[in-house]
């Protein structure tokens, strides 16, 4: 019986919570976001996926995010603080195995370092150079610059 339960757990993979900065999402096309999410799903199942913006979205942009399973959250200011709060909430109350952060700079380094004590970290970024100091905390890394064959420049 115990072996059967362990096999079921292995098939389900890891529980993942994804948090994206609005700055990263705005640089990507719908196809690119979809490919990123498919890469993340290879690690485990996405339990929660949010993108935090510090401005209103156009209805078409909002619709695309909802279609892809990403819940947009609009905050009045301090996007980074809200991302840190979402991240800490995910790590300490949602029983996740992997915290996935879509970031463009090193502003969230304290969150990444703190979360690394409790969970694995998946970083998604436009450039490895932009988050050089965060790389030591990453268990997984997905860099957009590595996918040049499907990059669409806006």
Percent of the chain's residues with pLDDT above 90: 67
Residue 144 pLDDT: 84
Confidence grade of residue 1 (pLDDT, cut at 50, 70, 90): very low
Residue 112: which residues within 8 A CB-CB, separation 6 or more? Answer: 101, 121, 123, 134, 137, 138
Does 153 map to a domain? no
Residue 152 pLDDT: 37
Does 4 map to a domain? no
Query: Is there a contact between 73 and 51 (Cβ–Cβ < 8 Å)?
Result: yes
Does 46 map to a domain? yes
Q: Residue 45 is part of which domain span?
A: 14-145
Over residues 46-98, the pLDDT tens digits come to 999 999 999 999 999 999 999 999 999 999 988 999 999 999 999 998 889 99
Does 152 map to a domain? no
- Domain count along the chain: 1
Does 150 map to a domain? no
Does 71 map to a domain? yes
Is pLDDT at 125 greater than 60 in this prediction? Answer: yes
pTM of the predicted protein model: 0.85
Residue 13 pLDDT: 79
Does 93 map to a domain? yes
Q: Are strands 71-74 and 120-125 parallel, antiparallel or unpaired?
A: unpaired
Domain harbouring 99, CATH code: 3.40.50.1010
Alpha carbons 129 and 4: distance in angstroms, whole number: 44
């Amino acid at each position: 019986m115990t072996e059967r339960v362990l096999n079921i757990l292995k098939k389900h993979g890891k529980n993942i919570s994804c948090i994206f900065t609005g700055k990263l999402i705005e640089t990507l096309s719908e196809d690119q976001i979809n490919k990123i999410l498919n890469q993340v799903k290879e690690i485990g199942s996405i339990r929660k996926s949010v993108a935090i913006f510090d401005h209103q979205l156009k209805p078409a942009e909002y619709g695309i995010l909802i279609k892809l399973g990403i819940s947009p959250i609009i905050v009045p200011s301090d996007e980074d603080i809200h991302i840190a709060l979402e991240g800490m909430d995910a790590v300490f109350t949602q029983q996740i195995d992997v915290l996935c952060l879509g970031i463009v700079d090193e502003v969230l380094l304290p969150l990444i370092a703190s979360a690394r004590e409790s969970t694995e970290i998946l970083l998604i970024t436009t450039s490895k150079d932009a988050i050089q100091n965060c790389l030591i905390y990453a268990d997984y890394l997905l860099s957009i610059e590595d996918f040049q064959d499907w990059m669409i420049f806006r």
